[in-house]
Structures are given as structure tokens and as C-alpha cells.
Amino acid sequence: MKEWLKRVTFMAALVGLGYWGWTLVYQSPERAIRKRVEALAREASFGPNQGLMSEAWKATSLTAFFTTNVQVTIDVPGGQNIITGLDELQTAVLYTRHTFKSLEVHLPDIKVTLDPGGDAAAVNLTARGEVIHADGQQEDYLQELRLRLIKVKRDWLIKEIVTVRTLS
């Protein structure tokens, strides 16, 4: 290989490595939020045969993603279910874990819109849940959600979750 080609290749690799390192250390708010929401989906998923301790620990660890005054508004036929605060949310999570045998949450689309100030963001996402009921029956759910996140110190916390529909 010619000497100049070797140098160009080396420089390109160096620049690429530098860029990768930069994005790793100083990741954009959009990317940080995206990773946060994906982590929440992983944490919300659970498999069958989980012990009581594991269930309780996971339900507690989920609360780390939310503000203390979080509000979750779920549209149901004929009205809305509103969950307010971490205690109610934790109860709802434990109820879900008892109702279903397993739940796998996937987020095929996440759209982050940062507020002009940079300390709050709106996230539109498509959530797909693969559920196995207690009787072994498998079912897939699709739900569109809108999240409102705020920046607390270096962390992004979810303040509000609302179910939304493309077809209104």
C-alpha cells in the first residue's frame, strides 16, 4: 500500500474514533432521552417465574425513571384512568406483574422533541407489548404514548405519560 494511502486511512480511523469517543462522553440530549426510554422499556419487561423479591425490586427500580408527582393518563373505553404519584404507579406495576405471566415491551419508534430551553422534552413513541396471560394465552398490544420529561441535574425524569391515538 502506498505511504500516503496508509496515512489517510490512519487519519480517517483516528477521526472516526475521536468522534465516537466524543459522542460517548458528550451525548446529545435527544440520544440520552432515547436511551433512557429504552432502558425503561427493558425494566418494564419481565419474564415468567420471577420471585416475589425480584418483582418488588424491579417495581421499585422503575420508580427511578419518574418524578415524584408523575401522572399517567390512560384512555379506556368510556373514560380515562389516571395514576398520580410514585406510590400509585408502583401499585399499578405490581398489579400488572401479578396479572400477566410475562411482558416484553418493544419501542419500534421513538421521536424526541426537545424544548427550546433544553431542560424539558416531549417524546412520542410507539410501544408494542407481547403479553402472556396467566392462562398461557399470548397477545400483542400496540399503544401510542406521549411522554413529558424534565431534566433534573444530569438525569431525565418522566413527568407525564399520556396515551395518544393517530386515528382520532
In the chain, which ranges are E strands?
A: 66-76, 79-84, 100-114, 120-133, 138-152, 155-164
Verify binding: residue 126, other proteins, rule CB under 8 A.
Answer: yes
The verdict on 79 binding other proteins (CB under 8 A) reads no
- 109 binding other proteins? (CB under 8 A): yes
Residue range at the interface with other proteins (CB under 8 A); choices 1-9, 81-89, 142-150, 152-160: 142-150
Total residues binding other proteins (CB under 8 A)? 18
Among all chains, which residue has been given the C-alpha cell 426537545? Answer: 114
Closest CA to 100 of 65, 64, 127, 140: 140
C-alpha cell at 32: 440520552
Assess 110 for contact with other proteins (CB under 8 A).
Answer: yes
Shortest Cβ 127–other proteins spacing (Å): 9
Pick from 111, 119, 134, 139 the residue near other proteins by CB under 8 A: 111
- Does position 77 interact with other proteins (CB under 8 A)? The reply is yes
**Neighbouring C-beta atoms of residue 131, cutoff 10 Å:** 17
